């Protein structure tokens, strides 16, 4: 039985597939199986994937007859096929340095409590040119923490970082434990943010290891999931609000984490309400103000604010 199951969920990334798969097959750590999935691509992806389908490392090659509509459904399909103890979702447009798996496994061995191991990523454009790394993504939370490798309890990592935003922005940089994945109920399909929710749920049942070496190459281009999300209407608030509500409802959180999430919910619901008000969509804004009232500690102040805005019509 392989130690790691590597899942490549592909949709229309024929241009990048050879580099992606070769970077997996040429890893210095070789105890893995490779699962190739195609979500009914309209380019020549299947043709490229077929070239690798008979490779000894490839345990499954599955082509959907219809598009699933979500990369996260493909994640779930691949994990259900996986035999490995650890899962690597190797996104089809990214690639890894040869030592990626070796270093991730080395870090996992440092503690039996680790359920998620990840590394720093290079920022790469559509032409494959490295244009920086993703440390800047976390600098607003801590400019020093991510300069070195570390091992933290899951709850501390959530409270310090994941409560604010998804500080693990690329699944290709992550190994996570399959048993822990099934323990927390697997991945849920929340548009654009299912990976963030998965990390949040996993780190309630175990710890995280971070490797400061940039061993993953995260291709940021107009068709990447994170780029599409950034262009979506009200992305910064709408889907984050959905995620936070799901997390509060479905997960058993300690009081400190629960209060942190409620506070963030109140802030984001307020931003969303103001956005609707500025577009004269008062009915939609009202429901977000109700959420602010629900999650904000100072309920009397919020109630006065709602009355001020709606009864006096000062918007």
- Structural domains in the chain? 4-231 (3.90.550.10), 238-310 (no CATH)
Tracing tokens 């090659």 back to the chain, one arrives at 61
pLDDT band at 142 (very low <50, low <70, confident <90, very high): very high
Cβ-based burial of 15 (10 A; exposed 0-12, middle 13-18, buried ≥19) = middle
Per-residue pLDDT of 147-202, as tens digits, reads 999 999 999 999 999 999 999 999 999 999 999 999 999 998 888 899 999 999 99
Query: Please, which residues have CB within 8 angstroms of residue 313's CB and are 6 or more apart in sequence?
Result: none
Phi, psi at 89, each rounded to 5°: -85, 100
- Return the SS3 of 234: coil
d(CA 298, CA 131): 45
- Evaluate if residue 87 carries a pLDDT over 80: yes
Phi, psi at 271, each rounded to 5°: -60, -45
Burial 21-32, CB ≥16 within 10 A → b, else e: bebbeebebeeb
DSSP 65: S
Per-residue pLDDT of 264-314, as tens digits, reads 999 999 899 888 878 888 888 888 888 888 888 765 555 555 555 554 454
Per-residue pLDDT of 1-57, as tens digits, reads 799 999 999 999 999 999 999 999 999 999 999 999 999 999 999 999 999 999 999
The token pair at 235 is: 């992305």
Per-residue pLDDT of 115-133, as tens digits, reads 999 999 999 998 889 999 9
The token pair at 137 is: 């993504």
The answer to whether the CB of 65 falls within 8 A of the CB of 89 is no
Pairing verdict, β 58-63 and 32-38: parallel
Query: Quick one: how far is CA 41 from the chain centroid?
Result: 22
d(CA 238, CA 225): 16
DSSP 172: G
pLDDT of residue 232: 45
Strand partners, 218: 123
Pairing verdict, β 86-89 and 58-63: unpaired
Phi, psi at 121, each rounded to 5°: -120, 145
The answer to whether the CB of 175 falls within 8 A of the CB of 104 is yes
The token pair at 234 is: 């009200």
Full DSSP string of 86-114: EEEE--TT-EE-TTHHHHHHHHHTT-TTE
DSSP 158: I
Is the four-CA dihedral 69, 65, 54, 35 of positive or negative sign?
A: positive
Among the listed residues 164, 76, 172, the one whose alpha carbon sits nearest the alpha carbon of residue 120: 172
Burial 122-157, CB ≥16 within 10 A → b, else e: bbbeeeeeeeebbbebbeeeeeebbeeeeebebbeb
């Amino acid at each position: 039985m392989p130690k790691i199951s590597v899942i490549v969920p592909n949709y229309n990334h024929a241009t990048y597939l050879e580099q992606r798969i070769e970077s997996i097959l040429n890893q210095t750590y070789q105890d893995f199986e490779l699962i190739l999935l195609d979500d009914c691509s309209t380019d020549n992806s299947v043709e490229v994937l077929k070239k690798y389908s008979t490779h000894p490392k490839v345990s499954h090659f599955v082509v959907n007859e219809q598009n699933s509509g979500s990369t996260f459904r493909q994640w779930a399909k691949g994990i259900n096929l996986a035999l490995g103890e650890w899962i690597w979702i190797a996104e089809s447009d990214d690639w890894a340095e040869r030592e990626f798996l070796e270093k991730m496994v080395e870090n996992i061995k440092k503690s039996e409590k680790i359920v998620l191991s990840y590394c720093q990523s290079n920022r790469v454009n559509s032409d494959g040119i490295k244009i920086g790394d993703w440390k800047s993504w976390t600098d607003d939370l801590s400019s020093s923490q991510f300069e070195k490798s570390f091992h933290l309890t899951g709850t501390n990592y959530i409270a310090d970082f994941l409560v604010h935003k998804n500080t693990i922005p690329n699944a290709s940089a992550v190994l996570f434990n399959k048993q822990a994945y099934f323990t927390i109920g697997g991945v849920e399909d929340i548009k654009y943010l299912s990976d963030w929710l998965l990390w949040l749920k996993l780190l309630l049942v175990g710890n995280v290891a971070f490797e400061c070496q940039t061993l993953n190459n995260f291709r940021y281009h107009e068709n990447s999931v994170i780029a599409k999300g950034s262009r979506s209407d009200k992305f910064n608030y709408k889907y984050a609000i959905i995620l936070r509500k799901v997390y509060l409802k479905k997960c058993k959180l300690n009081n400190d984490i629960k209060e942190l999430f409620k506070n963030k919910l109140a802030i984001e619901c307020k931003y969303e309400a103001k956005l609707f008000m500025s577009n004269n969509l008062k009915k939609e804004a009202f429901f977000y103000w109700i959420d602010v009232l629900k999650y904000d500690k100072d309920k009397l102040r919020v109630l006065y604010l709602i009355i001020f805005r709606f009864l006096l019509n000062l918007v």
